[in-house]
Amino acid sequence: MSIEKTDSSYDLLYRSFKERIAQLETLPKMDESNSIERAIEEKGFSRRDFMKWAGMMTAVLSLPSSFTPLMAEAIKVADRLPIVWLHMAECTGCSESLLRSAEPTIDSLIFDYISLEYHETLMAAAGWQAEQNLEGAIEKYKGRYILMVEGGIPTGNAGAYLTIGGHAKKGKDIAYEASEHAAAIFAIGTCSAFGGVQAAVPNPTGAVGLSEITHKPVINVPGCPPSEKNIVGTLLHYILYGTLPALDAYNRPKWAYRNRIHDLCERRGHFDAGEFVEQFGDAGAKEGYCLYKVGCKGPYTFNNCSKNKFNQGTSWPVQVGFGCMGCSEPDFWDTMGVVGEPLSEKLYNTTFSGMGADATADKIGVTLLSATVVGIAAHAVISTIKKPKE
């Protein structure tokens, strides 16, 4: 395969990916009689669709387009890495968003195909058998499987708020055991990453994020729901690099959560021009003005929603005029405050209090943030003085 690159600094990376893929190739497949290529073909995707998708994922991971063929190769060896998907305390929205509401896109096919040794909402086996499948999968793929967990972990009342399976095992014990023998652990969605809605004050069930109950490193892929691209991207990243990605202060992969919603927002021009929606349904709303004053938390939220959007790129909350609620930040239910009201001066009692002091990973982000806060205050003043545009 010929490699065309303009930047030679990628040479090393390219070679290491190739080595990694070759290494994975030597591992046994999950199902010798099948392959991802065939599965994709069977579902009616052409090679062109597949390459298009690989190109998109390459871009998602901020790699140069010359890596596209490698991405395609990587996905073909993905079936060497079985996935165990666990449901904890949750609404099932994450897998709805990834697996069921996604059209049979290549994203969901890949998940469908690479194992899902234990995914309750998907698998046909029920009850006792599901439980055996989980134990079997952990035993069989010890030290090799990727663990994906959806939902928060209730720890209150000795974990009694979530019992699963015929032996009424506690959710937290299942998650702990599955974490012990996993090669990599991804917390999918805000619940699993930070405890989520059930962990909001007063946290009746003592729900916590997965990282609180295991001593092993957990990569957080928050969002309520998270974008399917971020989930698949995290997986592909692991396949290619064989290591954990660069993470921010909250263990979120930087390639996805590096920027604030505000940085890449389509309404940003209006923010900069001091043009705000003052009330839902006003003239500014019709013009698509900035939603800061009606409660958008985009300036404090790190995620790439404006790029990925939802429902296969159809739309996202800012596009329909509601604004960002901060769903990929820890404890946003309590700290980001009221829907429909700006955070403005309340900022320092929030998620980010204290962050400034120990800003290690996100130093730059935080500095930018404070600059923005000043900007917002200034804009807010300007726009109250300025007459609303005709």
Which residues 274-313 are close enough to bind ligand SF4 by CB under 6 A?
290-292, 296, 298-299
Q: Residue 219 forms beta bridges with which residues?
A: 186
Out of 55, 340, 375, 388, name the contact with another protein by CB under 8 A.
340
DSSP string for residues in 338-390? -TTS--GGGGGGSTTTTTTTT-STTHHHHHHHHHHHHHHHHHHHHHHHSPPP-
326, 336 Cβ separation under 8 angstroms: yes
342, 372 Cβ separation under 8 angstroms: no
Query: Cα(42)–Cα(36) distance, rounded to whole angstroms?
Result: 10
**Which C-beta is closer to another protein: that of 100 or that of 142?**
100
- From the CB of 108, what's the least distance to another protein, in Å? 7
The answer for residues whose C-beta is within 8 angstroms of residue 220's C-beta and 6 or more apart is 186, 187, 192, 193, 194, 209, 211, 250, 251, 252
The answer for residues whose C-beta is within 8 angstroms of residue 215's C-beta and 6 or more apart is none
Binding residues for ligand SF4 restricted to 232-261, rule: CB under 6 A? 261
Binding residues for another protein restricted to 5-64, rule: CB under 8 A? 43
Query: Cα(374)–Cα(24) distance, rounded to whole angstroms?
Result: 50
Partner in contact with 324, chosen from another protein, ligand SF4, none, beta carbon below 5 to 8 Å by kind: ligand SF4
Partner in contact with 46, chosen from another protein, ligand SF4, none, beta carbon below 5 to 8 Å by kind: none
Partner in contact with 388, chosen from another protein, ligand SF4, none, beta carbon below 5 to 8 Å by kind: none
Binding residues for ligand SF4 restricted to 105-164, rule: CB under 6 A? none
Partner in contact with 9, chosen from ligand SF4, another protein, none, beta carbon below 5 to 8 Å by kind: none
CA of residue 183 relative to chain centroid, distance:
19
Q: Which of 3, 30, 162 is nearest to 86 (CA)?
A: 162
Stretch that binds ligand SF4, among 165-173, 216-224, 236-244, 263-271 (CB under 6 A): 263-271
Query: Cα(150)–Cα(250) distance, rounded to whole angstroms?
Result: 17
| Residue 268 in the binding site for ligand SF4 (CB under 6 A) | yes
CA atoms within 13 A on the CB side of 173: 13
Q: Which of 265, 286, 276 is nearest to 344 (CA)?
A: 276
- From the CB of 179, what's the least distance to another protein, in Å? 20
357, 363 Cβ separation under 8 angstroms: no
372, 262 Cβ separation under 8 angstroms: yes
| Residue 95 in the binding site for another protein (CB under 8 A) | yes
| Residue 321 in the binding site for ligand SF4 (CB under 6 A) | no
Q: Residue 290 forms beta bridges with which residues?
A: 276
| Residue 347 in the binding site for ligand SF4 (CB under 6 A) | no
Out of 28, 143, 202, 354, name the contact with another protein by CB under 8 A.
202
Give the C-alpha distances (Å, rounded to integers) separating 50 from 32, 35, 75: 22, 14, 10
Residue with the shortest CB distance to ligand SF4: 298
**Which C-beta is closer to ligand SF4: that of 243 or that of 384?**
384
- From the CB of 41, what's the least distance to ligand SF4, in Å? 41
Binding residues for another protein restricted to 288-317, rule: CB under 8 A? 288, 309-312, 314-317
- From the CB of 66, what's the least distance to ligand SF4, in Å? 33
**Which C-beta is closer to ligand SF4: that of 119 or that of 293?**
293
DSSP state of 149: E
Q: Which of 164, 94, 91 is nearest to 130 (CA)?
A: 164
Partner in contact with 202, chosen from another protein, ligand SF4, none, beta carbon below 5 to 8 Å by kind: another protein
State how beta strands 184-188 and 153-154 pair. Answer: unpaired
Stretch that binds ligand SF4, among 9-17, 151-159, 262-270, 307-315 (CB under 6 A): 262-270
- From the CB of 182, what's the least distance to another protein, in Å? 22
Binding mask 152-191 toward another protein (x if CB under 8 A, else -) reads --x------xxxxxx-x-----------------------
Out of 209, 253, 298, 337, name the contact with another protein by CB under 8 A.
337
State how beta strands 153-154 and 207-208 pair. Answer: antiparallel
Q: List residues near ligand SF4 by CB under 6 A.
A: 261-262, 265, 267-268, 271, 290-292, 296, 298-299, 318, 323-324
